[in-house]
């Protein structure tokens, strides 16, 4: 049994390709059922995000499954295969296990350590459970992926360093003030960057938000979002003595705050620390303000420097995470191989026992006058012979499974002895989502 992955991501396909192969999360039943109908696919999950589209499957014929899944992706979106071929990747077996665990742990994300992808995979798994396209293996595998992602976040600091400008501002503020509780932040400008930063500040304990903008209605709208107060742009400077943190991002051609005004504000605040974040280009705040006592001024380049340093720290933590992934891949491979080792050993024994019984019966029918004791002796001797023949293959299969090579030996034994396949999971234990 193999785990098979076919997909594309931000690393292999531009956004214009990713958007046309995306599967709408509000209508997943049809594609999941169509994927499950592919001849070589036994279980199916579809993960579709803005940065990746991936098909997860269980198959006994991985080569055929890859071909069918690629064609399915093209056909479902009414595309020629040539349009997708160069953008698609595929994995099977150990490589597929490793890929999914790395994706869930956000090691393959555009920004290493971002948490969104784990929730997106959980959502995809939920749809597959709802529409009954997963069974024992993908259920166990994806729950393993979720636990591995949690282990990576617990045992490494991969998500602890800010890697966005807006969150870097919050991180710096916490270093200056220790705690953001009971702090007041003023937003000068009501653009997207200010809004995002405000969300981070509020989530980290800031108690009051003031918003000013040249268009007062926009200031009111943003202030309402954070249960804050809109301030007229004409007199926002008169409110600065009440403010601990200022975030400025306007399109003004000149400084909206000069050093002289800020010097006066420092006196009014009795030189309590004041953190100014200037993410405007051209700058909104006079750089000379940084020379004032109790003023901490950072511009967009300063914040980018913090972000780059934090990215490097995340990369160091990613190396630790890769070791965790390698360990977990081996564990899951062992479990997956064990699913087929026991049935294979049982099937092999049944096959040899069938041959033994037929040959014993044939022999005994040609021998007349044998006592019951002699017949039992022949039975015992042939049973012992089969046991001895089976001893080494059984031992090798179990050892190979423990060493991670079980599937290779299982396939060889099933081929050499023409053993029947286990029950097809399309008709057995599909939607086994007991761990969801």
Q: Give 6's strand partners.
A: 55, 90
CB distance 53 to 19 below 8 Å: no
204-230, pLDDT tens digit by residue?
889 899 999 999 999 999 999 999 999
CB distance 59 to 18 below 8 Å: no
Whole-number Å distance between alpha carbons of 104 and 237 = 47
Q: What is the pLDDT of residue 31?
A: 96
Q: What is the pLDDT of residue 427?
A: 47
* Residues of the chain below pLDDT 50: 162, 423, 425, 427, 436
Q: What is the pLDDT of residue 433?
A: 67
Q: Under the phi-then-psi rule, with left for phi > 0, alpha for psi from -120 to 50, and beta for the rest, what region is 162?
A: beta
Q: What is the pLDDT of residue 148?
A: 93
Q: Which CATH architecture has domain 2-155?
A: 2-Layer Sandwich (3.30)
Q: What is the pLDDT of residue 106?
A: 85
Q: What is the pLDDT of residue 160?
A: 63
Beta strands in 10-147 (DSSP E): 43-48, 52-59, 89-92
List active site positions.
Answer: 50
Domain ranges of the chain: 2-155, 165-304, 334-424
- Rounded to two decimals, the pTM is 0.63
CATH superfamily of 165-304: NAD(P)-binding Rossmann-like Domain (3.40.50.720)
Whole-number Å distance between alpha carbons of 306 and 425 = 51
CB distance 40 to 65 below 8 Å: yes
Q: What is the pLDDT of residue 272?
A: 94
């Amino acid at each position: 049994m193999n785990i098979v992955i076919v997909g594309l991501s931000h690393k292999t396909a531009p956004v214009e390709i990713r958007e046309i192969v995306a599967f709408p999360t509000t209508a997943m039943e049809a594609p999941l059922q169509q994927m499950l109908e592919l001849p070589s696919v036994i279980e199916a999950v579809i993960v579709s995000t803005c940065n990746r589209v991936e098909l997860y499957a269980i198959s006994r014929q991985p080569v055929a499954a890859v071909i069918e899944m690629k064609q399915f992706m093209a056909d479902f979106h009414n595309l020629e295969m040539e349009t997708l071929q160069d953008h698609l990747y595929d994995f099977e077996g150990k490589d597929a296990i490793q890929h999914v665990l790395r994706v869930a742990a956000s090691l393959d994300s555009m920004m290493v350590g971002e948490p969104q992808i784990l929730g997106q995979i959980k959502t995809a798994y939920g749809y597959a459970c709802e529409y009954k396209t997963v069974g024992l293996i993908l259920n166990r595998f994806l729950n393993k992926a979720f636990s591995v992602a949690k282990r990576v976040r617990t045992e490494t600091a991969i998500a602890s360093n800010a890697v966005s400008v807006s969150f870097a501002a919050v991180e710096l503020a916490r270093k200056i003030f220790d705690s953001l509780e009971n702090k007041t932040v003023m937003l000068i400008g009501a653009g997207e960057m200010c809004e995002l930063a405000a969300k981070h500040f509020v989530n980290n304990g800031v108690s009051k938000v003031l918003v000013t903008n040249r268009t007062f209605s926009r200031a009111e709208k943003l202030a309402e979002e954070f249960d804050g107060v809109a301030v007229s742009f004409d007199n926002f400077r008169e409110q600065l003595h009440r403010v601990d943190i200022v975030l400025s991002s306007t399109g003004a051609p000149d400084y909206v705050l000069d050093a002289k005004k800020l010097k006066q504000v420092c006196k009014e605040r009795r030189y309590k620390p004041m953190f100014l974040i200037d993410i405007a280009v051209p700058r909104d705040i006079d750089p000379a303000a940084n020379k004032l006592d109790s003023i901490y001024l950072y511009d967009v380049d300063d914040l980018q420097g913090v972000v780059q340093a934090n990215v490097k720290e995340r990369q160091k933590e990613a190396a630790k995470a890769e070791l965790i992934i390698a360990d977990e891949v081996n564990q899951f491979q062992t479990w997956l191989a064990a699913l087929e080792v026991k049935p294979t050993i049982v099937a092999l024994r049944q096959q040899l026992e069938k041959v033994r019984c037929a040959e014993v019966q044939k022999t005994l029918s040609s021998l007349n006058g044998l006592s019951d004791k002699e017949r039992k002796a022949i039975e015992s001797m042939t049973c012992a012979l089969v046991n001895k023949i089976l001893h080494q293959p059984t031992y090798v299969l179990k050892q190979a499974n423990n060493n991670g090579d079980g599937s290779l030996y299982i396939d060889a034994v099933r081929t050499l002895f023409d053993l029947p396949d286990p029950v097809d999971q399309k008709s057995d234990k599909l939607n086994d989502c007991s761990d969801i």
